[in-house]
């Protein structure tokens, strides 16, 4: 008998041969888009501090920024504040001061330090008086010129400013009912008034405080002339703190932080 023919039946595939795994790519794109949407909606409903923190991460994913906050340590809602920005501001101010050839002799009386609070600029007095008339809250020509320069530069930054007045431990004499508390506060306010008229924004000053001799720069010599100084602090930006001052905390630009003698 002849061998029966072998019949092979081939089935054609459906549409899958045309599309393959393209649907998986489309589905992954859809899931990614939905995730992005949910993140945006979450950010819109979050606090300002959370939004700043997330934005800070994308600006500095390496985590080199300084993480600070008030009473929120470990909560994940602290602001990311970069000290490098203050370092750049310090360099720019020092460069501007170096160009003031008529004040060469005063450069040693100006010190700038980046601290946990911000950039601290200190105008140090000498025995004969450097920026203020001796024993007075009146600014001399050097003080006016230096503070005007600082005001012009600091008025360009968004940061808020606090101004402090300090004295040495020598008791103030010459006026009754007037002490180092009044002198330190009056000098800080004199510096504030000039700086606000020379470039600082009206709402830029957050505090004006007088400390008398309670925060000596040279505690080993309470009579040292460098203890007599005005400090200008360029504060790190903290939006939430600036919107509402804590009880017993920040004063406005017209306040002095003056303390009563016991």
75-134 per-position pLDDT tens digit? 333 333 456 678 888 888 888 877 765 666 777 888 998 888 889 999 999 887 789 988
Counting as low any pLDDT under 50, the low residues of the chain are 64-81, 239-262
CATH at 163:
3.30.1330.60
Based on the domain organization, do 195 and 91 belong to the same domain?
yes
- The whole-number pLDDT of residue 127 equals 82
160: tokens are 């808020």
pLDDT tens string 230-242 = 999 999 876 444 4
3-state helix, strand, coil in the chain (%, to 5): 40, 15, 45
**Element of type H or E holding 152:** helix 141-154
* Angle, CA of 91, 97 and 101, to the nearest 5°: 140
pLDDT value of residue 82: 54
Residues 41 and 111 reside in one and the same domain: no
With contact defined as beta carbons under 8 Å apart, do 222 and 198 qualify? no
Report residue 3 as tokens. 């061998």
Q: Are residues 178 and 98 in the same domain?
A: yes
What pLDDT, on the 0 to 100 scale, is given for residue 48? 63
Q: Which of 37, 61, 81 is the last residue of a domain?
A: 81
- 74 and 87 assigned to the same domain: no
Secondary structure of residue 172 in the 3-state scheme? coil
Domain boundary among the residues 39, 54, 81 is at 81
What's the CA gap between 147 and 6, in Å, rounded?
104
Helix extents (H) in 46-100: 48-59, 83-98
Q: What is the pLDDT of residue 72?
A: 32
Last residue of a domain, one of 40, 64, 81: 81
Domain count, the chain: 2
In a domain, 11, yes or no: no
Q: What pLDDT, on the 0 to 100 scale, is given for residue 77?
A: 35
Give the span between the Cα atoms of 142 and 174, in whole angstroms.
25
- 143's tokens: 């003080």
Residues 30 and 105 in one domain: no
Domain membership flag for residue 248: no
92 plus 34 within the same structural domain: no
Q: Is residue 259 part of a domain?
A: no
- Do residues 130 and 229 both lie within one domain? yes
What H or E segment, with its residue span, contains residue 39? helix 22-45
Residue 254 in any domain: the answer is: no
Res 208: pLDDT: 96
φ, ψ dihedrals at 76, nearest 5°: 80, 5
H/E run at residue 189: helix 180-198
Segments forming the whole domain that contains residue 112: 83-243
Residues 166 and 233 placed together within one structural domain of the fold: yes
Verify that 62 and 137 share a domain, yes or no.
no
128 and 76 in one domain? no
Q: Please give the model's pTM, rounded to 2 decimal places.
A: 0.59
User: Is 46 in the same domain as 155?
Assistant: no
Same domain for 234 and 104?
A: yes
pLDDT, residue 13, reads 57
């Amino acid at each position: 008998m002849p061998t029966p023919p072998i019949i092979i039946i081939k089935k054609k595939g459906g549409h899958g041969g045309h599309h393959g795994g393209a649907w998986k790519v489309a589905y992954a794109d859809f899931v990614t888009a939905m995730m992005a949407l949910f993140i945006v909606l979450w950010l819109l409903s979050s606090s300002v501090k959370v939004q700043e923190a997330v934005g800070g991460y994308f600006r500095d994913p390496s985590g080199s920024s300084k993480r600070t906050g008030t009473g929120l340590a470990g909560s994940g809602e602290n602001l990311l504040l970069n000290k490098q920005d203050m370092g750049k501001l310090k360099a720019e101010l020092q460069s501007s001061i170096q160009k003031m050839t008529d004040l060469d002799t005063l450069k040693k009386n100006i010190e700038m330090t980046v601290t946990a609070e911000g950039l601290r600029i200190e105008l140090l007095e000498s025995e004969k008086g450097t920026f203020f008339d001796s024993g007075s809250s009146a600014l001399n020509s050097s003080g006016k010129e230096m503070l005007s320069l600082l005001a012009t530069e600091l008025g360009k930054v968004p940061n808020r400013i606090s101004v402090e007045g300090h004295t040495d431990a020598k008791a103030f004499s010459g006026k009754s009912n007037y002490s180092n508390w009044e002198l330190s506060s009056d000098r800080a306010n004199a510096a504030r008034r000039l700086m606000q008229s020379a470039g600082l924004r009206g709402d830029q000053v957050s505090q004006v405080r007088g400390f008398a001799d309670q925060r000596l720069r040279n505690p080993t010599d309470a009579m040292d002339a460098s203890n007599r100084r005005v400090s200008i602090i360029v504060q790190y930006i903290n939006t939430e703190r600036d919107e509402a001052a804590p009880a017993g905390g920040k004063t406005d630009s017209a306040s002095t932080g003056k303390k009563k003698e016991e």
